[in-house]
């Protein structure tokens, strides 16, 4: 499948604040700021006409420009901890030169999604049809979520008591977001359509092909995966 580069744009939201892992987007990962790996890998795909890094950090902006990315300076309102992901992307669209543009597709990458595979991204472009809003990567839960339980006071409470005696092989399979990339139509992003409901689809990836990085433990796990060579 031929991917028309000048129809596609990449957006990387990378704010400066991170409560659980301070400064993570510029934190050195095997000799380079971790955001380097995502920007560099996206550039090498040659799938995108432009890469925009949206940030509230002067340091991230400066480094991203050094790598050849365009920069969108995000307002304080959209840099809050509780700012919704879809609202941030819609704001970038409406607040930049791409508002009324030629672009048909937008792919959003997390700045720490260093393990995404180019083959998965290529497949996402292939799967994105007009009746689908978004394509993203997802992983399968190892165990049925219906059998989950929590502690409430001195007793245990099941997530779904009706499933307590069900055979696990008869329970449905559930998936969760791999936190890598989200490819969608320009209008789907602009209209803030739902990613994980309705007309979206996903690419299932193996558990060891991604690592969401939110805290120090995640960071250490990512280093182990990197050494194992799972991004190759």
pLDDT of residue 131: 94
**Domain CATH code at residue 30:** 3.90.550.10
* DSSP letters spanning 60-101: HHHHHHHTT-EEEE--SGGGSTT--HHHHHHHHHHTSTTTTS
If one counts the domains in the chain, the total is 1
pLDDT per residue as tens digits for the range 25-55: 999 999 999 999 999 999 999 999 999 999 9
Handedness of CA 220, 225, 227, 232 (dihedral sign): negative
Residue 4 pLDDT grade (very low, low, confident, very high; cuts 50, 70, 90):
confident
- Cβ neighbors of 27 (< 8 A, separation 6 or more) are 21, 33, 34, 219
Structural domain including 125 reads 5-228
pLDDT of residue 88: 87
Q: What is the mean pLDDT of the chain?
A: 90
- Cβ neighbors of 154 (< 8 A, separation 6 or more) are none
pLDDT per residue as tens digits for the range 110-126: 999 999 999 999 999 99
Residue 100 pLDDT grade (very low, low, confident, very high; cuts 50, 70, 90):
low
pLDDT of residue 228: 87
Contact 207, 225 (CB under 8 A): no
pLDDT per residue as tens digits for the range 160-211: 777 776 777 778 899 999 999 999 999 999 999 999 988 999 999 998 899 9
SS3 83: coil
SS3 51: strand
CB-count exposure of residue 172 (10 Å: 0-12, 13-18, 19+): exposed
Tell me the pTM.
Answer: 0.91
Contact 176, 139 (CB under 8 A): yes
pLDDT surpasses 80 at 94: yes
pLDDT of residue 232: 46
pLDDT per residue as tens digits for the range 132-148: 999 999 999 988 888 78
């Amino acid at each position: 499948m031929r991917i028309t580069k000048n129809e596609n744009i990449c957006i990387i939201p990378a704010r400066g604040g991170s409560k659980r892992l301070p400064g993570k987007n510029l934190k050195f990962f095997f000799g380079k700021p971790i955001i380097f790996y995502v920007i560099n890998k996206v550039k090498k795909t040659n799938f995108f006409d432009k890469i925009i890094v949206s940030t509230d950090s002067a340091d991230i902006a400066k480094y991203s420009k050094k790598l050849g990315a365009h920069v969108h300076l995000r307002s304080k309102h959209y840099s809050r901890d509780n700012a919704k992901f879809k609202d941030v992307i819609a704001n970038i669209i409406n607040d930049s030169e791409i508002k009324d543009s030629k672009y048909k597709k937008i792919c959003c990458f997390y700045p720490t999604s260093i393990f995404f595979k180019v083959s998965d991204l290529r497949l996402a472009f292939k799967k994105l049809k007009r009746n689908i809003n978004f394509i993203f990567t997802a992983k399968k839960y190892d165990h049925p979520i219906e059998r989950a339980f929590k502690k409430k006071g001195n007793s245990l409470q099941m997530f779904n008591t009706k499933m307590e005696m069900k055979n696990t092989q008869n329970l449905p399979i559930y998936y969760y977001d791999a936190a890598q990339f989200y490819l969608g139509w320009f209008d789907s992003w602009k209209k803030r359509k739902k990613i994980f409901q309705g007309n979206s689809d996903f690419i299932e990836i193996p558990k060891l092909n991604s690592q969401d990085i939110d805290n120090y433990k995640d960071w250490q796990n990512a280093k182990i995966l990197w050494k194992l060579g799972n991004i190759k």
